[in-house]
Amino acid sequence: MHFYPTERVGLFIDGANLYATARSLNFDIDYRKLLDYFRGQAKLIRANYYTAMMEDADYSPIRPLVDWLDYNGFSVVTKPTKEFTDSAGRRKIKGNMDIEIAVDIMELASELDHVVLFSGDGDFRRLVEAIQRKGLRVTVVSTLKTKPPMVADDLRRQTDVFVEIMSLSDQIGRAGGQRKPRPQETQADPAEDEAEYDQNDDGQDDFEEFADI
């Protein structure tokens, strides 16, 4: 990943998408290291993290992470999840943050030279094209190492630079590189891993229900 020292950079992290990507690779993100890495590469203007939350629940599995990010250099953008029942009668929870990400990037475009988007969602292709016309460079961070790949082919073709997230494992990965046990097995710094808070009462992953890849 190449940056110019005076380049104004904005990070835009689709939390559910990044979580699903890291989970599929058995890879832990250390958010403190991630922020420090980009601060060392260029002029970091903004680091935004987007996630939907179940606000009416007694406990949100990602609340510890969201709180840590809020106090440690990230701007966290949240909205309530929406619950619905699918055609098979199964309860589903959805929390797509695409509009929030797109609006923020467009509003900040005049203050940036380079957008780094942590998402493989193909819906962002038109957004990438639009900000490129404004003269910005765009880097997309996702993975091709899963089957199927987590990044849409249209998005990868449109972006200026595609970065395989595993190539950043030394820079932004938790020491050891493997996902740690669930919260009932250990207590750890929430900055290191969104996955630590991913289990609900029925043993299913909350993020799995609303990650919109």
**Token code pair at residue 152:** 């849409």
67 within some domain: yes
3 within some domain: no
Element (H, E) at 209: helix 206-210
Which spans in 50-140 are helix H?
63-71, 98-108, 125-133
Sequence-distant (≥ 6) Cβ neighbours of residue 87 within 8 angstroms? none
181 within some domain: yes
What does pLDDT average to over the chain? 82
Element (H, E) at 84: strand 82-85
DSSP structure class, residue 211: -
Closest CA to 18 of 36, 4, 30, 8: 30
pLDDT tens figures, 84-126: 676 777 766 666 899 999 999 999 999 999 999 999 999 999 9
Give me the pLDDT at residue 96, please.
Answer: 83
71 within some domain: yes
Report CA 50 to chain centroid distance, whole Å.
7
Total domains in the fold of the chain? 1
- For residue 45, the enclosing domain spans 8-210
Rounded Cα–Cα distance for residues 39 and 19 (Å): 22
Give me the pLDDT at residue 180, please.
Answer: 45
Give me the pLDDT at residue 190, please.
Answer: 45
Give me the pLDDT at residue 63, please.
Answer: 85
Rounded Cα–Cα distance for residues 138 and 180 (Å): 32
CATH number at residue 58: 3.40.50.1010
Angle (CA) 3-74-139 rounded to 5° is: 30
**Full-model pTM:** 0.80
pLDDT tens figures, 10-60: 999 999 999 999 999 999 999 999 999 999 999 999 999 999 887 765 667
103: helix, strand or coil = helix
Find out whether 190 and 197 touch, Cβ atoms under 8 Å: yes
82 within some domain: yes
143 within some domain: yes
